[in-house]
Amino acid sequence: MRILSIQSSVAYGHVGNSAAVFPLQRLGHEVWPVFTVHFSNHTGYGAWRGPLLDPADVAEVITGIEERGVLATCDAVLSGYQGSPAVAAVIVDAVKRVKAANPAATYTCDPVMGNAKSGCFVNPEIPPIIRSEVVPVADILTPNQFELGFITGRDSLSGPSPIEDVLSAADAVREMGPSTVLVTSVERAGAPADVIEMVAVTGDGAWIVQTPRLPMKANGSGDITAALFTAHLHTTGSPAVALGRTVASVYDVLEATLESGERELRLIAAQDAIAVPDERFEVERLR
């Protein structure tokens, strides 16, 4: 499998492409990383150095890849943190080029905007553009519950919500264009306080998986989740299997990170859990 991944890059730590590329490679896939920013570290530290890359430069890199004559071999496009509002148009154009060369290719959009605890942490011009211009061209969308609420205009999803509301919002997103929606960091009303859930929704059904809630903040976990789910969905064709394998690997990476006492994801140390997921969490069909 070959994946064009358009995301941020950091020199220190693991977010964006710095979180997605190695796990995809560890699964045996080729990745063509294109950077939207190149920072010293992720912005969660409150201070960082390095440039937001000019959208024209991002587009030039993609054009250079196209000039190698390889877009017809690209199986998937993946995007995450955009950095600049103008990058959205570059991503949409890249998706169109890839699909023109290979109509079977898919596009996964991780609509990085914010989360329930931090609120919106990107340029405030970016979320409306993602909603209006990027979401409609996506095949797979991987929002957290907070982002799902913004995209669908349902503010109530910023807190614990009935699972029916989450499914209804996912269905609303699917009407906008994506055929598959993976909702991360699901806060289900009535669920035990020490668990967190993830839900996958397609036209064929909906599935949920539950894991223990780890006492940590994990920058980059959404990035690796979107990458792994995309890869597993492509290789298995099963949303339920992709969900189970993704959750198993991400949980083991997070657990290894917590045990290490380090702030950054221990992707290298936990790489075996990425390559061979321990599918021990039950995936339950909701409908």
Cβ atoms within 10 Å of 31's Cβ, excluding its own: 21
From the number of C-beta atoms within 10 Å of its C-beta (0-12, 13-18, 19+), residue 160 rates as middle
Q: Smallest Cα–Cα separation from 278: which of 254, 233, 246, 230?
A: 246
Chain centroid, CA 190 distance in Å:
26
128 closest CA partner among 98, 160, 85, 90: 85
Polymer length of the chain: 287
For strands 180-186 and 140-141, give the pairing.
parallel
The boundaries of the domain holding residue 16 are 2-285
Which three-class secondary structure state does DSSP give residue 191?
A: coil
Domain with 83 in it: what CATH number?
3.40.1190.20
* Tokens linked to 45: 């530290």
The pLDDT, as a whole number, for residue 260 is 97
The pLDDT of residue 185 is above 70: yes
Angle between helices 87-101 and 55-66 (to 10 degrees): 10
* Tens digits of residue pLDDT in 51-87: 999 999 999 999 999 999 999 999 999 999 888 899 9
Backbone angles phi, psi at 197, to 5 degrees: -130, 165
Segment 200-209 mean pLDDT: 98
Amino acid present at 26:
R
d(CA 244, CA 228): 11
Residue 145 scores a pLDDT above 80: yes
Is residue 181 within 8 A of residue 201, CB to CB? The reply is: yes
pLDDT at 101: 98
- pLDDT at res. 167: 98
pTM over cut 0.75: yes
Exposed/middle/buried for residue 93 (C-beta within 10 Å: 0-12, 13-18, 19+): middle
When divided into structural domains, the chain yields a total of 1
> Does residue 245 register a pLDDT over 90?
yes
pLDDT of residue 121: 75
**Is pLDDT of 152 > 80?**
yes
**Percentage above 70 pLDDT, the chain:** 99
